[in-house]
Amino acid sequence: MSRPRVFLGLGSNLGDREHALERALTLLGQRGFVLKRRSSLYLTEPVGGPPQDGYLNMVVEGESALSPEELLSACLDTERDLGRTREVRWGPRVIDIDLLLYGDERRATATLALPHPRLHQRQFVLVPLVEIAPEMRHPVLQLTARELGQSCADTSRVERYDPQPGERR
C-alpha cells in the first residue's frame, strides 16, 4: 500500500535559522518522516504577530507510516526539543513546523486541521510549495499549488535565500 504525500512547512526566525531547520529535518526523520523533496530556503517577512525579525522558510515533501495525529505529535515534539516556546501567538520562534497536507485527508478537530486552514493564504508557504510540487492539488479547494499561488492576496516579501559560501544571515 502506498503512503500519502505529506507536506510540511518549516520556519525559523531566532538564532541560527539554517541550523534549526536542518536539525528539525533530522529529528523528524528519526521520528518517522521520510524526506523525499525539499524546497529552497526563502527569506520572508513575518505575517501577523508582534514586530519581529524575518524568517527562513521552506516546504518539504515526504511520507510517513504515522497517522496525521502521530505526525503532528512528532512535529510538536521536534519543536519542543529545539526550544520552541508558545508565549505569543505568531511571535518569534526558533522553529515552527506546520503539517500542511497529508494526502487528501480532511480533518477539523480541536488539535488538527487538514489541509492547513491558512495554506492558501500564505505566500511564504505557497512559493516553496510551488517550487517542489506545482501540480499538487488542494483537497478542498481543488486548485493546484501553482493556481493557489497565483490567486493568493498575500503581498508579503518572499525571496530565495542564497547566502554566499560560508555566510549565514
11 pLDDT above the threshold of 80? yes
- Higher-pLDDT residue of 48 and 42 is 42
Residue tagged active-site, from 5, 23, 31, 98: 98
Q: What is the pLDDT of residue 167?
A: 54
The region of weakest confidence among 44-48, 86-90, 147-151 is: 86-90
71 pLDDT above the threshold of 60? yes
Residue tagged active-site, from 17, 38, 96, 122: 96
* 31 noted as active-site residue: no
Res. 48 pLDDT band, cuts 50 70 90: confident
Residue tagged active-site, from 17, 38, 93, 122: 93
* 93 noted as active-site residue: yes
Assess whether the previous peptide bond of 115 is cis (omega < 30° from 0). Answer: yes
114 pLDDT above the threshold of 70? yes
In the predicted model, what is the mean pLDDT of residues 60-86?
94
* 16 noted as active-site residue: no
* 168 noted as active-site residue: no
> Average pLDDT over the chain, rounded to whole?
92
Res. 1 pLDDT band, cuts 50 70 90: low
d(CA 158, CA 57): 9
Q: What is the pLDDT of residue 169?
A: 47
Q: What is the pLDDT of residue 68?
A: 97
CATH number of 6-160: 3.30.70.560
